[in-house]
Structure formats: structure tokens, C-alpha cells
Amino acid sequence: MPATPHMPGYDAVAVPVLDSTLGNTDIMTRISLTFPTQLSIALLQDSWYELVRAWPILAARVRHTPSTPSGLSFLIPQPGKVKELEQRSRTTLKDEEKHIVIVDASSRSIASFHPIAAKAVESSFSRDTVSVGAAPGSADSLKMTCSNATTSLKQLLGADQAYITAQATVWSDATTITLAFSHIAGDAFSVKAIFEAWRRTIESTAPAPLQGIGVDPFIAYLPPHGKKSKSEDTEKEKQAERDVGLPLGFFQYGFIDKVRLAWNLISDIKIKRPEKEFGQYYMYMPAEKVEALMVQARADVDALVSASDDSEKQALDTRISTFNVLLAWLLQNIHAANPKRKRMSTVMTIVNAKTRPPARHDPSDYPPHQLWGGALGVPLEPLASGDYASLPLGQLALHIRTSLTAQIDPENMQANIVTLLRHTLWAKPSGKLVFFARPNHYLSGCTEWRSTRFGEVDFGAAAAPSSSVKPVAIGTDMQIGVSKRNRWVIFGEMGGGVWFSGFMTHKEATHRDGFGRYHHVQ
């Protein structure tokens, strides 16, 4: 049994090991969906409590448990405790004791909170260009989206608060519904599954209890003794196992590299781009612009093929996806503001072991529910900053695709998982620095949520009269102990276009060769 602090009424279940790596434990985040009409406050609240009764892990507390491989456990409330917590949540005046917070802001438009989201609610975006807008202020954002959420791992490990909380804010012209969570909850697919379960509860009845709670999908990859933590070599006369090396693009830093990286980061944060200059921005790209970019990118690839000799043509795989093109467009605009065009740049993006399993994987490894994470950060092959800014869109998209094709090789996926577990497990980090870039590179990262299809979540059953109501805007933010600079997300399609967000300076947001070319919403 996990050695948990005594908390009557709770059952302890170990947090999966990959969800307990430092890239997850250190982040408290939230995802907000904005629907273009008022939804029923009472129905949203009652259906949330009904869902929690069916899935009590949503009300779990998290505690340090030295006896578990991850060092952390969920304390899942038993039925009687769920009832007690619901009663407390419904009657308390303290937001931190509420599992769902309801805010009646019907006296104000969402435009007073988030102008670019209001453009989506009003269906008034330009269809000819990209729109750019600032995020809400930090204090207002916390109040209107997640006033009941924990803001640090330290708070989560000591507080009588759930690791997942909900909030619904009803405006005069819209409703914003937010799930706030510790990143140990999983990945974007996990959050989408909770939204969908909430939707089903509103429409009819709560889903069946989750099966497989406590199954750890990657425990067999935990070195040194996990049976899948080594590579398998098959030869004609013998089978052998060898240690898994570092994944593609990762380096184990020595002292000099650590000093160089520290200087690179400190000089950027303290001198070149002080933290106070950064803000969060949102971008909306209408579907018409997306299609135009796809046409342009395909033409660029065709031109590249035409300029190649016959042997090169045969070797070229010229398929590019919408994601490849969207990320290429984003990286062009990000790098336009970089002052040193010859300086190399490394971009980290996301692949997911849920859809790209590692070597030695067996389908029975994965639990039948989605409340666990499989997201892995992987670097693209580095390019000069000036190349990111100036290469033809299609050529850059092809570079992205080629880089990711190598990254999703099953053996490399295995190497990613084993490396994370070997060096960054919260309970026992190695103390060694394994990093995804050289110390003098420009650094940036982009999360991909487009494949989760948040835009398909339909909360129309909570509208009056009931009808199909899907989100037209999406928002996110996170609490983390380091700078949020250079972090981006491609949200995906909703409201007739694609949403993006990221953290940059005002100078970068208005650069004439980058995001300054587009319409800025005030």
C-alpha cells in the first residue's frame, strides 16, 4: 500500500510514472472553451457534480508517497466522501473549497474580458487575414476562469483541493467553460475526454465508471529494471538487450555546456528581453487563409521537386499535412523578429505515444480510459533563424515533416520515454541535464492540440432552447516556475478558423515582417 498521510474516506492510487516527470509536475494549466450563447448555470453545475460521482478521480487529492515508483499518489474519494465534498462545494463561500465555480457575469460582454474571443462570438473576424489579440490580464483571467485551482505543486500536495477543477462564467453574450488541472492529469486528449464526458452527462446521464484506474502505461519502461527499458537486438543466433541511448536531437550536457546555456538564458531574461516585456497573444486564422496557405505550400513543394534532379526526385517524399503548414507559418512569423539570422534555432514540438507507441509496446499496456499522458517533446532538426524566417512555406513544412518522421520511429519513441524516466522522474531525478538543443541556439516550443478537436465539443444541451452549440474560441494559460517565453500552441479549428497562442514581447508581436503584418484586435 502507498505510504500516504492518513486521509479517511480516500483510496490511494499511484500516479503513472510518465505523468510524474518534471515537465508535468511543475505545470498547473487550464483550457477554456467559449460558446457563443448563454448556457444554463444550474445545468452546468449539476451535471458536473453528477460526472464527479461517476468519475471520482476528478475530485482526487494528490500527495507525496515515497513508496510508489512515481513518488506521488492520487487520493480518490470514496462515495461517501464524494457526497461530503459536493455538499461542501455547493455551500462554501471559499472558491478554493469549490469543485466548480459559477460566475454570473451577465452584466458584461465577453468583449470586456477578451476582445479577440468576442470577435469569434460575434462572427466578425476578417476572412482575408489573420487577427491578433492580447490575452486577458492575469488577475482577471484567474478570477474569470479558474479561481478555485491550485497554482503550484507545493500547494497541490498540501491543500484539500482537487487536482482538476471546473469553472463556468456566463457573459451577456457567451459562456466560457474552463477545466483547470495539474499536468499530471495527462495530456490534451485527457482534457478532451473530460469535456466530452461532461457533455454526455448534460445530454443524458453520466458515463460508466472508468476502468483501469491505477494501470501505469509506461511502468515497464522505467529504468533500470523495467523489462522494456532496454532495446532488443535480434540476430540470427542470439537475442540480446542493450541500454537505450538518447533520443534524436538530445544531448547530455557537461559543465561547459551548462554554463553556456545558463548564460544564454540569463542574458535573454535579464538583459535582452526582460520578463516584464512579455505578454500572451492569440491568433485566429480564417479557414480561407488556411486553404490559401495550403495552396501556396503545395506550389512551393512542386517547385522544389521541379528543381531537383531525377535521383533526388525519387528520394523525395513530398507529402505535407495541414499541421506541417500551420507550424511552418507560425515559425516563419516567430523567427522574423530574431535579430541574429545566422544563429541556429531549435524548435521543440509534440508527438504522442498514445497514437505513436514506443518499441516493445503491447496494446494491453495502455488503460482503456484517457486520463493519462502520452505527450513527448521532440526537437525539429535545427535550422538557421534566417532560414526559418525566409524559406518558402512549403519547403519549411517539408522540413518539419521530415524531422517528425524520424522522431516518431518506435525505437526513438522508446528512447524518449526511457530518457524522461531515467533523468526527470519527480521522485528521483538523475541530476544530469539532458537537453533538446545546443546551448547557443534560439529556443522555442509548440504544443499541438489540433488533433484533439476541441472544436467538436457540443454543449448545446445546456442552451435554451436546446440546440447544437460548439465553441468558437479557446484559451489557455499556465502557472509554472520558469519563464513562459517562446512557448506556443496550435489549438486547432473552431469558429470557422484555426486558433494559436503564445508568449512574446510587444515588439515581436508587432514586427513588420512577422505578426505585425496582420490585423490587431483592440
285/353 same-domain check: yes
Active-site annotation, residues: 183, 458
What pLDDT is attached to residue 243?
Answer: 83
Instruction: Identify the domain containing residue 28 by its residue range.
Output: 10-203
pLDDT tops 90 at residue 43:
yes
Domain count, the chain: 2
The label of the residue with cell 513527448 reads 376
With beta carbons less than 8 A apart as the criterion, state whether 490 and 326 touch: yes
- Asked if residue 418 belongs to a domain, the reply is yes
Those residues whose C-beta lies under 8 Å from the C-beta of residue 470, and which sit 6 or more positions away, are: 35, 455, 456, 457, 458, 459, 460, 494
Q: Is 346 left (phi over 0), alpha (psi -120 to 50) or beta?
A: beta
What pLDDT digit, counting tens, does each position of 100-129 carry? 999 999 999 999 999 999 999 999 999 999
- Domain ends where: 203, 231, 265? 203
- Asked if residue 225 belongs to a domain, the reply is no
- Domain ends where: 203, 227, 260? 203
pLDDT tops 90 at residue 5:
no
267/175 same-domain check: no
173/265 same-domain check: no
What pLDDT is attached to residue 2?
Answer: 44
- Asked if residue 480 belongs to a domain, the reply is yes
Q: How many residues does the chain have?
A: 522
186/260 same-domain check: no
The values of phi and psi at residue 315, to 5°, are -85, -20
What pLDDT digit, counting tens, does each position of 50-88 carry? 999 999 999 999 999 999 999 999 999 999 999 999 999
167/308 same-domain check: no
pLDDT tops 80 at residue 224:
yes
| CATH number of the domain within which 423 lies | 3.30.559.10
Quote the mean pLDDT of the chain. 95
With beta carbons less than 8 A apart as the criterion, state whether 192 and 454 touch: yes
339/464 same-domain check: yes
175/290 same-domain check: no
**From CA 233, how far away is CA 435, in angstroms rounded?**
27
What pLDDT digit, counting tens, does each position of 290-327 carry? 999 999 999 999 999 888 776 566 667 789 999 999 99
pLDDT tops 50 at residue 135:
yes
CA 420-424-429 angle, to 5 degrees, is: 140
133/260 same-domain check: no
- Asked if residue 219 belongs to a domain, the reply is no
196/327 same-domain check: no
- Asked if residue 230 belongs to a domain, the reply is no
197/255 same-domain check: no
The label of the residue with cell 479549428 reads 493
- Asked if residue 229 belongs to a domain, the reply is no
